[in-house]
């Protein structure tokens, strides 16, 4: 099932960020981040880079699909009966995608945090260090991600007390797990006797 997630990023007491995720399946999650030393929230960087670059198998796509990372806890609602197994399966299926999401969101974060002119060269070089296939993004894709993050990081820095920054995660970017069982094969015709 593809799930839409509405995320609210809140400043956490003592620094860092707290994200509250409201999934379509009526489950509300909380994700804690320990990014106290940065102006731009790390998890916001993930959400922006993954959404803008279409990474369904990253952190937020996996959470939308049912993954529960160690920094995530259920605040409200009932998870599926097989939530723990599904979470493990999703994370295992998307381990490589999660690594790419970490790489690209880190580059987008660094570009915005340090006011660098472009993320493209660093992203292309980072991609080449972990993947053999051609880099699938253009300069404009990375510019869109960094522009969006710059705008949202500024909005986050100026939130009125007690409010959160609203961020929508689209259904189309929900990660799906590969089934662990093989489909049953159809029996062939019975041999004649």
DSSP calls for 100-125: HHHHHHHHHHHHHHTT-S-SHHHHHH
Which residue in this structure is represented by tokens 């995530």?
72
Measured at the CA of 97, the angle between CA 6 and CA 152, to 5 degrees, comes to 40
Please determine, for residue 190, whether its predicted confidence score (pLDDT) is greater than 70. no
Q: Whole-prediction pTM value?
A: 0.87
**Does 83 score more than 90 pLDDT?**
no
C-alpha–C-alpha distance, residues 27 and 120, integer Å: 36
Per-residue pLDDT at 182 exceeds 70? no
147-165 residue pLDDT tens? 999 999 999 999 998 899 9
pLDDT per position as a tens digit, 107-147: 999 999 999 999 999 999 999 999 999 999 999 999 999 99
For 13-43, what is each residue's pLDDT tens digit?
A: 777 889 999 998 899 999 988 666 778 899 9
Please give the Cα distance from 5 to 23 (Å, whole number): 4
* pLDDT at residue 3, as a whole number: 66
In DSSP terms, which residues pair with 8 in a beta bridge? 20, 166
pLDDT value of residue 33: 81
Spell out the residues 6+ positions from residue 118 whose beta carbon is closer than 8 angstroms to its own.
111, 139, 142, 143, 146
pLDDT band, residue 2 (cuts 50/70/90): low
Q: Please give the structure tokens belonging to residue 135.
A: 């880099």
pLDDT at 191: 47
């Amino acid at each position: 099932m593809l799930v839409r997630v509405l995320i609210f990023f809140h400043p956490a007491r003592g620094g860092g960020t707290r994200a509250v995720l409201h999934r379509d399946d009526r489950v509300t999650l909380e994700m804690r981040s320990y990014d106290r030393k940065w102006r731009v929230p790390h998890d916001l960087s993930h959400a922006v880079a993954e959404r803008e670059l279409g990474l369904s198998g990253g952190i937020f796509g996996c959470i939308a699909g049912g993954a529960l990372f160690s920094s995530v806890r259920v605040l409200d609602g009932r998870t599926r009966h097989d939530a723990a197994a599904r979470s493990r399966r999703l994370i295992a299926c998307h381990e490589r995608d999660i690594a790419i999401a970490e790489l690209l969101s880190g580059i987008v974060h660094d570009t915005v945090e340090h006011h660098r002119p472009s993320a493209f060269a660093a992203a292309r070089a980072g991609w080449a260090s972990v993947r053999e296939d051609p880099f699938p993004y253009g300069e404009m894709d990375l510019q869109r991600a960094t522009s969006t993050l710059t705008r949202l990081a500024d909005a986050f820095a100026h939130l009125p007390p007690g409010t959160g920054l609203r961020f929508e995660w689209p259904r189309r970017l929900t990660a799906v797990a590969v089934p662990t069982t093989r489909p049953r094969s159809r029996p062939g015709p019975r041999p004649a006797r």
